[in-house]
Amino acid sequence: MIAAIFRVVLATTPRDFRTAYASSLERDFAEELSSRPSAVLRLGYAASATGDLIITAIDERTANFRRDLAFAIRSILKTPGIAAVIIATLALAIGANTAVFSVLRAVVLQPLPYPDSDRIVVLSGLKDGAPFGLSLPDFADAHRATQTLAKAAVLVDYSEEHVLEGHGEPRSVTLATVTPQYFDVFGIPPQVGRYFEDRDARTGGRVPIIVSEHLWRTALQSDRNVVGSILRLEDVPYRVVGIAPARLSAPGISAAHFDAWRVMSESDSAAGFYNRNAHMFSGIARLRGDATLAGARADLDRTFAGLRAKYADDRHYSVSAGRFIDDVVGNIRPTLVAIFIAVAGVLAIACANVANLMLGRANARERELTVRLALGASRRRIVTQILTEAFAFAVVGGTLGVLIAIAAVGAFVASRPSFVPRIEDVHVEGMTLLYTATIVIVTTVVSGIVPALTFARRDLAGALKMSGRSGDASAGERGRAALVVFEIAATLALVVVAGLVVRSYASLTSRPIGFDASNVAIVGPIQTSGSRYNSEERKAAFYRKTRARARAIPGIVDAAWSFAAPFVPVQWNQSFEIFGEPTPVGAVPSARMNSIDDAYFAVLGIPLRAGRTFDARDRATTSPSIVVNEAFVRTYLSRRAPLGTKLLLGGSSNRTKPRVYATIVGVVADARGSYATAALPTIFPALAQSPPYIAELLVKTRPGVAVDTALANIVSDVDPRFVRPEIASMTATMAQSAARTRLTMQTLVALAAIALILALSGIFAVVSYGVSQRTREFGIRMALGARPATIRGDVIARAMRVAAIGIALGVIGAGFASRALTITLFDIEAIDPITFGCVIALVTVSVLVAALVPAWRATRVDPAIALRYE
């Protein structure tokens, strides 16, 4: 029994130790044991001897590793140039992977910070299958009828900006409007006070409001007594009932940060909320009990089928339900996943390159390794030795990589990319480091295994006989060629993907947008609300006065107010009827609305196609005039003359406002509202006749004139209670709208460039090595009269044969990769022949160039010298 334990421990010692001393140890142990007179003494000796053996086993095992490591570091230091290249390659690749993973983890992989957050679903309205917004009555009916939704609420699709006064500096507050159960959906308790209750929607008097933790902390000094008090936003008093925790200010279903939420009350009927045709809501709900998302979808489809049968107004409407997390990160997920795959590809290429360099180093040390083999080092020891070296490289590279990642992630987060949700959660932390550690291990194995196995298989006697210089290195050479094939294939796929995204971005941003964005600045948005602007006259007067001031600024050519400037993400859809045409029931036509003043088309350089734009004739007192765009005419007025046609805005089912017909006085050319979508049918009402509650001032300046400082004051000059407006150039706003595609493009291009450089250095190293191995052969051939061109051709042909295999495999890989990428591409076919052709040409030429230098060197060999080497 005692001896058995001793033998088990003995088995844990390294093999070389065991082979040499196991029998001696066992015999000594038995002899010593039998010399003890009593069982107690025997047991005491057995325990101490076994303990001693355990320590010996640990010492022996780590001694091997420590020796290998010390040896690895010494041999790394012997070739500092190659070592530096290897470490830099790994640091960049591991750093890039660490950085991308930390973004992917925080933004995409991490669940939302609510209990059972995967049971929260978002409800979106559809019209004929396209996103259109829910109506409140439809939502209420559906919530009542379904068995699958527990708490559910809707939120108005637009938020309002109000000025908060009396709490330090006046500041702008983003106010959302929600139904009472909104906060209950998320399942986290309020910071202070309470959330809304169903009765809040019915009580008259002060409207209840919930304030965000951020506003409470920054403007209200975290005062708990705020709850129960009255908060004035402009002139409207609200009753504060609770403070929402910080987690709830995060991008919600409208991807906006809210400062406060007010409950939708029945007095809001004036706003037209309780109207089956008012499709201006998004819904959010928690699944009931054990209901599944699929079950909820089926349930909602059934309910909406009933609504469509019951209400003529609902004939074209339905609802879609999706996970909340998809709503928050759905847009960015394919982009980040694509970048993650690309960066993993770069790591694979980097590993191949490092393996290649290590093989090169090992070739140079061939004699040393061979001598060690001959002196009795086991092949396993040599393999362990090479893997230890790979491990040392990976650990140093990984450590530097983490530092690179921390810097890169810090810079990325500091740039506050607006298209990345949850960016505030992104940092390099424990989970990321665990991932990096895994990469380091994988890198060790991947970059070490090819050189290690190549050496383990090498024919010892042959290598020694050939004195290691012109020895048979064909196994090594084949291994290196295989690595280069892989590098070229992966690089080609990566360059193709980057090329597709570049083409896509170029095509996206070079689309004719239909207006002249140069030298145009956007001031605002400015919101005119509260009692100071409670009439259309007062609003119109404000717009008139501020515009006059803007126009008086030297350097400004013209200025125009507009409800929704192009590339500003604001939407206002309005249903309408055409006078004299029967409107099909349930198919009320609708169009984008954009209230503008008379200079709008001039400022943006949008040409007039027929009729006139607005002028002094279009006043509040005259009958309403409207201008429409060509898309509107194509869609709705193809069978009649547009000029003089009268439209009933709001449609016949809007009974809250008097029926007013507006007359089309002009038709303008189409202009895009964003890069991604074509020009939509649009109605332009005259700002003087229907001044909106919110608008932006578009300013056309003379080239090279800075007017921002002068513009910053025009609003407060007219009304000192306004906060300073934001000012942005039109071109910057447009660039912002393409920022996600641009960042994807820049990242992929950078990764593709790194991959190409790595692959070319791989080719270069392999061809150079091949040439150095064949020095003698070239010398003999040239001595026998071979022309240099023939030799050069021979070297290049060898390189191109390897490259051709890589390119062929790469084209196949690129085909799969780009097919997966199609969803994020604009206008480009996944198998785009131009991109593929260009990339194949680029890679071929690059390989040619990389092979040219060693090929040239091959013909510079002096035959006499080459032969003397032997």
Partner 1 sequence: MSRSEHPETPPLSAATFHILLALAGGDRHGYAIGKEVEEQTAGAVSLGPGTLYRILKQLTIDAWIAEIDSADDEHERRRTYRLTSRGRAIAQAEARRLDALVSVARARRLLPALAR
| 32 part of the interface to partner 1, by CB under 8 A | yes
Identity of the residue, 59 or 118, whose beta carbon is nearer to partner 1 in the bound complex = 59
Residue 22 CB, shortest distance to partner 1, in Å, is 9
Identity of the residue, 26 or 794, whose beta carbon is nearer to partner 1 in the bound complex = 26
Each as own residue / partner, the long-range contacts of residues 448-451 (CB below 8 Å, 24 or more positions apart, any chain) are: 448/355, 448/358, 448/386, 448/387, 448/389, 448/390, 448/391, 449/355, 449/387, 450/355, 450/359, 450/479, 450/482, 450/483, 451/355, 451/358, 451/359, 451/362, 451/386, 451/390, 451/479
| 3 part of the interface to partner 1, by CB under 8 A | no
| 31 part of the interface to partner 1, by CB under 8 A | yes
Q: How far apart are the C-alpha atoms of 16 and 22, rounded to whole Å? A: 10
| 444 part of the interface to partner 1, by CB under 8 A | no
Residue 64 CB, shortest distance to partner 1, in Å, is 12
Identity of the residue, 29 or 183, whose beta carbon is nearer to partner 1 in the bound complex = 29
Interacting positions 107-166 with partner 1 (CB under 8 A): none
Number of residues that bind partner 1 (CB under 8 A): 23
**Residue linked to tokens 């003043």:** 597
Q: Is the dihedral of CA 640, 641, 645, 651 positive or negative?
A: positive
3-state secondary structure of 154: strand
Residue 55 CB, shortest distance to partner 1, in Å, is 7
| 19 part of the interface to partner 1, by CB under 8 A | no
Residue 16 CB, shortest distance to partner 1, in Å, is 9
List C-alpha distances in Å: 807 to 181, 241, 488, 800, 840: 59, 66, 6, 10, 7
Q: How far apart are the C-alpha atoms of 556 and 307, rounded to whole Å? A: 54
List 19, 28, 202, 368, residue binding partner 1 (CB under 8 A): 28
Options 16-24, 102-110, 311-319, 500-508: segment touching partner 1 (CB under 8 A):
16-24
Q: How far apart are the C-alpha atoms of 4 and 584, rounded to whole Å? A: 93
Interacting positions 785-804 with partner 1 (CB under 8 A): none
Identity of the residue, 13 or 212, whose beta carbon is nearer to partner 1 in the bound complex = 13
**Residue linked to tokens 């489809």:** 301
Identity of the residue, 4 or 585, whose beta carbon is nearer to partner 1 in the bound complex = 4
Options 22-30, 345-353, 455-463, 483-491: segment touching partner 1 (CB under 8 A):
22-30
Identity of the residue, 17 or 183, whose beta carbon is nearer to partner 1 in the bound complex = 17
Residue 4 CB, shortest distance to partner 1, in Å, is 16
Nearest alpha-carbon partner for 461 in 362, 371, 359, 381 = 371
Identity of the residue, 59 or 368, whose beta carbon is nearer to partner 1 in the bound complex = 59
| 747 part of the interface to partner 1, by CB under 8 A | no
Residue 1 CB, shortest distance to partner 1, in Å, is 18
Nearest alpha-carbon partner for 146 in 322, 310, 287, 313 = 287
Q: How far apart are the C-alpha atoms of 82 and 244, rounded to whole Å? A: 58
Q: What is the DSSP code (8-state) at residue 281?
A: E
Options 24-32, 672-680, 731-739, 794-802: segment touching partner 1 (CB under 8 A):
24-32
Residue 53 CB, shortest distance to partner 1, in Å, is 4
Options 13-21, 323-331, 653-661, 743-751: segment touching partner 1 (CB under 8 A):
13-21
Q: How far apart are the C-alpha atoms of 41 and 36, rounded to whole Å? A: 6
Interacting positions 39-98 with partner 1 (CB under 8 A): 48-49, 51-57, 59-60
Q: How far apart are the C-alpha atoms of 568 and 671, rounded to whole Å? A: 13
Residue 25 CB, shortest distance to partner 1, in Å, is 5
Each as own residue / partner, the long-range contacts of residues 634-643 (CB below 8 Å, 24 or more positions apart, any chain) are: 634/681, 635/589, 635/681, 636/578, 636/589, 636/591, 636/681, 637/578, 642/610, 642/611, 642/667, 643/610, 643/611, 643/667
| 23 part of the interface to partner 1, by CB under 8 A | yes
List 3, 8, 20, 548, residue binding partner 1 (CB under 8 A): 20
Identity of the residue, 21 or 419, whose beta carbon is nearer to partner 1 in the bound complex = 21
Q: How far apart are the C-alpha atoms of 6 and 582, rounded to whole Å? A: 99
3-state secondary structure of 774: coil
| 229 part of the interface to partner 1, by CB under 8 A | no
Helix (H) or strand (E) holding 396: helix 379-414
Options 21-29, 405-413, 505-513, 615-623: segment touching partner 1 (CB under 8 A):
21-29
Nearest alpha-carbon partner for 133 in 275, 282, 309, 353 = 282
Q: Are 729 and 565 in contact (CB under 8 A)?
A: no
- Contacting residues toward partner 1, per CB under 8 A: 13, 17, 20-21, 23-25, 27-29, 31-32, 48-49, 51-57, 59-60
